Amino acid sequence: QSALTQPASVSGSPGQSITISCTGTTSDVGGYNYVSWYRQHPGKAPKLMIYDVTYRPSGVSSRFSGSKSGNTASLTISGLQADDEADYYCSSYTSSGTWVFGGGTKLTVL
Amino acid sequence: QLQLQESGPGLLKPSETLSLTCTVSGGSVSSTGYYWGWIRQPAGKGLEWIGSVNYSGYTYCNPSLKSRVTISVDTSKNYFSLKLSSVTAADTAVYYCVRRGTNGEPKTYDPWGQGILVTVSS
């Protein structure tokens, strides 16, 4: 199984919005609405930010939103804050009954 | 609040078997709505899904690791385990234990344990 494709890095200034893409195939992202997004600060465990493409867990800011079009899922963060600087990973269920992650995107808040 | 805690040796020699345990508190591995799994992350790299087990012991694993991986659950002691045989330096990583929903629960990995660093070196 191949990893989902994410940009290596994105950046934005405080208050701006950014979008991170996650591209797979019809066998994973495109075929199921089981895409999740995780945020990972250095030295910490990943934290769930979005699940089932668009849903936010309780306690996650409404500044985080998810969407999907075809084989590409996206995470949008609005009103960027310094604490948003972290690595972000997407994941998806696959037609093989397994799970696959993206390679990760480093978000820099300028 | 559900909490997961990994434990096990932090240093192994090549060809040995990695054995990790994840203790579950604030919940039960006997819950029918969840799978219990393992995800690893080499230093400076991305996340890799290893596999999962449910309360009845049904497992499914990453095909690339399947021949070396055993994941099991102990409902009497409320923990689940990972065994990875014939380790090499490529298996050096932080290993996380996680819970995933099924049967009406969100199909996502949450929560995560804090992670345990396992180093393979001679």
The pLDDT of residue A1 is: 67
The pLDDT of residue B94 is: 98
Q: Is A10 at the interface with chain B, CB within 8 A? A: no
Q: Give me the mean pLDDT over the B8-24 stretch.
A: 97
The pLDDT of residue B40 is: 98
From first to last of its 110 residues, chain A has per-residue pLDDT tens of 679 999 999 999 999 999 999 999 999 999 999 999 999 999 999 999 999 999 999 999 999 999 999 999 999 999 999 999 999 999 999 999 999 999 999 999 99
Q: Is B96 at the interface with chain A, CB within 8 A? A: yes
Tell me the per-residue pLDDT of A76-93, one tens digit each, with 9 for 90 and over: 999 999 999 999 999 999
Q: Chain B residue with minimal CA distance to A34?
A: B107
Band the pLDDT of B105: cuts 50, 70, 90: confident
SS3 A82: helix
Q: Give me the mean pLDDT over the B21-25 stretch.
A: 97
The pLDDT of residue B104 is: 80
Long-range Cβ pairs for the range B6-9 (8 Å, 24+)? B6/B95, B6/B96, B6/B97, B6/B113, B6/B114, B6/B115, B6/B116, B7/B116, B8/B116, B8/B118, B9/B118
Facing residue for A48 by CB, picked from B64, B108, B115 = B108
Distances B74 to A28, A89, B55 between C-alpha atoms, Å:
31, 30, 8
Are B108 and A98 a contacting pair at CB < 8 A?
A: no
SS3 A64: strand
Residue A101 C-alpha, separation from nearest chain B C-alpha, in angstroms: 6
Rg (CA), chain B: 14
Residue B102 has pLDDT above 90, yes or no: no
Are A55 and B106 a contacting pair at CB < 8 A?
A: yes
